[in-house]
Amino acid sequence: MFISGLCFAQSDTSYYYYTKDNHQTIKDSAYAFVKFYKQGDVWHGKDYYVKTGKLKSEGNYADSSVKTPLGLFNNYSEGGKLDNVSTYTNGKPVEITFYYEGGNKKSWISFDEKGVKQQKGWDENGKEIEKYVVMQSARFKKGEDAWNKYLKKNTNGNVALDAGAPPGEYKVEVVFKVGRDGYITNAKAILIPAKCRACANEALRVINESDKWEPAIFQNKPADYWAGQPFTFVVPEEKKKKG
């Protein structure tokens, strides 16, 4: 399964280390790692659980950046059972089939350029469950437009100017968890402008003061969800001169 981490190359073999929520990390604090190597025209990757050493995932990538998965990926639980088989085209998921521990099919979901196309689920006896939701992202209760309006209304766009930052753009990126109860926690800035730390503080304030969200759904149940939100603060040349 596609992950993002730190790469350590050794000739034609490299390693990526990542946390349980797929954030990059170092070897000593990794939940899992992927070992990948050149195999013909692609890079073949094998993920392993650090604690048990068991196989977590296996599949091919387009290049050594490990950012473009190709074809079939077999993904396994920590107990060593097949959890799901994912299919990718040009780095994007096409379909995923999930399995019960006993091997029976649990659910299936397909995607197109607009997102989720179809999804189905079955009980352990193979009977289809009506209106089954395999996965659904967390979302602001009143929708994306309402979220954008909230950001625009509540973000102090002059924070960089007030902080005395020189003319230019100051980009901040915040990641945060939407819990199963819909509340935001664990917000942190992963991109902080060197000349405007106040910008990061403002972005974090806005995220942390957000109203409750609709939680994500995974396998027909509420689930934790990690989201990201970019911010851009601007100090125009003319305003700086006037100031």
**Do 130 and 14 share a structural domain?**
yes
- Domain boundary residue among 104, 136, 168? 136
What's the pLDDT tens digit per position in 15-62?
Answer: 889 888 777 888 899 999 988 888 888 999 999 999 999 999 999 999
Residue-level pLDDT at 4? 37
Q: Which domain holds residue 154?
A: 139-242
* CATH number of the domain bearing residue 230: 3.30.2420
**The pLDDT of residue 3 is above 90:** no
What average pLDDT does the chain have?
91
State the pLDDT at residue 145.
Answer: 96
Q: Check whether residue 21 and residue 116 sit in a common domain.
A: yes
Domain tally, the chain? 2
Q: Which of 116, 136, 156 is the last residue of a domain?
A: 136
Residue 2 has pLDDT above 80, yes or no: no
Cβ burial 93-127 (10 Å sphere, 16+ → b, else e): bebbbbbeeeeeebbbbbbeeeeeeebbbbeeeee
Q: Which pLDDT score is estimated for 67?
A: 82
Query: Which tens digits make up the pLDDT trace of 114-132?
Result: 999 999 999 999 999 999 9
Domain finish residue from 85, 115, 136: 136
Residue 49 covered by a domain: yes
Digit-coded pLDDT (tens) for 229-243: 999 999 998 754 444
Same domain, 104 and 148: no
Please determine, for residue 66, whether its predicted confidence score (pLDDT) is greater than 80: no
115 with 14, same domain: the answer is yes
Looking at the fold, whether 127 and 232 belong to one and the same domain comes out as no
Residue 180 and residue 115 share a domain: no
pLDDT for position 239: 54
Q: Are residues 15 and 130 in the same domain?
A: yes
**Is 147 domain-assigned?**
yes
Q: Is residue 1 part of a domain?
A: no
Q: What is the band of 10 on the pLDDT scale with cuts at 50, 70, 90? A: very low
The verdict on 122 and 153 lying in the same domain is no
- List the CATH number of the domain containing 103: 3.90.930
Are 130 and 147 in a shared domain? Answer: no
Does 165 fall in a domain? yes
pLDDT recorded at residue 144: 94
Residues 173 and 112 in one domain: no
Q: Is residue 161 part of a domain?
A: yes
In a domain, 35, yes or no: yes
pLDDT tens readout for residues 130-184: 999 999 999 998 899 999 999 999 999 999 999 999 999 999 999 999 999 999 9
In this structure, the answer to whether residues 71 and 174 fall within a common structural domain is no
Same-domain status, 95 and 149: no
Whether residue 91 is contained in a domain is answered as: yes
